[in-house]
A = this chain, B = another copy of it.
Amino acid sequence: MTDRLPHTLRSDASDNRERILDAARALFATEGLKVPMREIARHAGVGPATLYRRFPTKQMLATEAFTDEMHACRAIVDEGRAEPDPWRGFCHVIEKTCELHARSRGFTEAFMSTFPDAMDFVAEREYALRSIAELAHRAKDAGHLRPDFALDDLVLMLMANRGIHTTSKAARAAASRRFAALVIQAFQASPQHSPLPPVARLAPAAPRKTG
């Protein structure tokens, strides 16, 4: 009798599943989320039906494909908060986040919810933002982060970082690194900086927290 649990895949099936995820990761990283499902299937060496059976929607595929990045994201903010010096922690978060997002175009799109509907990424983003808000507060109190810094500036920074396209992967990494350094300069408290224009309220397709 078949005692096979319904959620246990056959060996060839789980093998295909892995290859699909590998292909998805690679293509999402270079091409972004707009890459056709069939392209992923082709790259994985499977038929379209197989891909759709495992991952009925592109969202499900992306969610699965980006679990590593999700964990990395959480780790970054946790490391930042654990840092004794809040300013150093803040810089760590900015540098590492830019680096992470520079690595995969698709992950950024997913994280910023270019996706039609809300997905698991939203929760992760909210967690990250909340954590960074607390870190920023401490960094301001320590006098290293400029007092007029707003959390929306960080979203702004992420959106901006996403705009950086280059020919090669290495060039993009370098560009993001330099960009992060410049952003940190902009956020650092300084006696000579003039007041900033009003904060831009950015809604990255997020659910309304306040009615």
Contacts and interface: CB of A to CB of B under 8 A. Distances in A.
A158 to B, nearest CB: 9
A104 interface: no
Interface string A174-200: 110111011101111010110011111
Q: How many copies of the shown chain assemble into the complex?
A: 2
B196 A178 contact: yes
A9 interface: no
A19 B130 CA distance: 48
A186 B190 contact: no
A95 to B, nearest CB: 9
Nearest to A108: B163
Given A186-B182, A190-B192, A177 B165 contact: no
Contact count band on A: 35 or more
Nearest to A183: B186
Contacts of A200: 166, 171, 174-175, 177-178
Interface stretch (A55-63, A68-76, A131-139, A201-209): A201-209
- Report, nearest first, the 3 A-B pairs whose CB atoms are least far apart: A163-B163, A175-B200, A160-B160
27 contacts: A156-B164, A156-B182, A159-B165, A159-B175, A160-B160, A160-B161, A160-B163, A162-B163, A163-B163, A165-B206, A166-B202, A167-B203, A171-B201, A171-B202, A174-B198, A174-B201, A175-B202, A177-B200, A178-B196, A178-B197, A178-B200, A181-B196, A182-B183, A182-B196, A185-B190, A185-B193, A190-B192
